[in-house]
Amino acid sequence: MKGIFFRPFFFLLVPLIFLSCTEELDFDQFDDLSVTPTLASGLFYLESTEEFINTVNVSGVFYEQTFNFDPFNEQFVAERLLEGTLSYEIENTTSKRITLFIEFLDEADTVLDTESFTVDPAPSGTLTREVAYGPAGRNIDILTTTSSLRVTGGNLSDTTSTSSESEPKIILRSAAEFLFRLK
C-alpha cells in the first residue's frame, strides 16, 4: 500500500527539486574580480650624532651609503605596480645646517631621480615630504627600474659648533606605500 503512494510522489518530487532549487552557476566571476592591495614598508633609517658630524671634515660629507632596492626586480611585480608614495621625515637637533640627497639608481648606476633636503639647525622642527609616483606624480618607471638607493649627508656648517640640546643628532626616516593590481 505504501508503494502506491510513494512511487507517484517520488516521480513528482524529483523533477520539482531540480526545477525549484537550481540556478545556473556563473564561473566567470573570477574575470570580474579586481584585487588591488596596498603594501607599506620602511625603506631606510639614518641617524648621526653631532659629535660624529664634527669629526668628519673631508668635503663636508659625513655619510654616504648605497642600499640595494630590488622590490620590483621580478617583471611580474613591476608590471602590476600602479602607484607608489615615498615618505620622508627629517629631524635636526644639531647646530648644523645639513643637506641630504637620495639618489635612485638603475643597475648601471645611472641616476633616475633625486630627492634633496636642506635642513636648518635646531630648532628647525620636523621636515616631512611625500613624493607620489604613478598617475598623480612622477613616472612610475622610476620605481620599477630602481636597483639601489644612494643616501648622502653633508654638513653645510663648521665642524666646531655644538648644540645646546642634550643629544643632538640628525635623523632621516623613510617609508614607502605601493598599490598593486594583482588581478
29: confidence class by pLDDT, cuts 50, 70, 90 = low
CA distance 14 to 176: 60
Q: Is residue 111 part of a domain?
A: yes
Residue 19 is assigned to a structural domain of this protein: no
More confident residue, 15 or 145: 145
Among residues 103, 118, 31, 39, which one has the least CA distance to residue 71? 39
**Residue carrying the nine cell digits 593590481:** 181
Domain-embedded: residue 1? no
Task: Let me know if residue 17 belongs to a domain.
Answer: no
In this predicted structure, which of 68-72, 110-114, 176-180 has the lowest mean pLDDT? 68-72
For 51-61, the pLDDT digits (tens) are 998 888 667 88
pLDDT for 36 beyond 60: yes
Measured distance CA(146)–CA(151) in Å, rounded:
14
For the chain, how many structural domains are there in total?
1
Is 7 part of any domain? no
Coil, helix or strand at residue 144: helix
Residue 12 domain-assigned (yes or no)? no
Question: Is the confidence at residue 152, as pLDDT, over 80?
Answer: yes
List the one residue out of 2, 176, 21, 183 whose CA is nearest residue 89.
176
User: Does residue 2 fall inside a structural domain?
Assistant: no
Is 171 strand, coil or helix? Answer: strand
Q: Does residue 175 form part of some domain?
A: yes
Average pLDDT over residues 18-22: 58
User: Which pLDDT belongs to residue 71?
Assistant: 76
Unique residue bearing C-alpha cell 527539486: 17
Write the pLDDT tens digit of every residue in 61-91: 888 999 888 777 777 677 888 888 999 999 9
pLDDT at 164: 82
d(C-alpha 103, C-alpha 55), whole Å: 25
129-150 pLDDT, tens digit each: 999 999 989 998 998 888 999 9
- Can you give the residue range of the structural domain that contains 154? 30-180
CATH of the domain at 169: 2.60.120
Please check the confidence at residue 33 and state whether its pLDDT lies above 60.
no
Record the pTM: 0.75
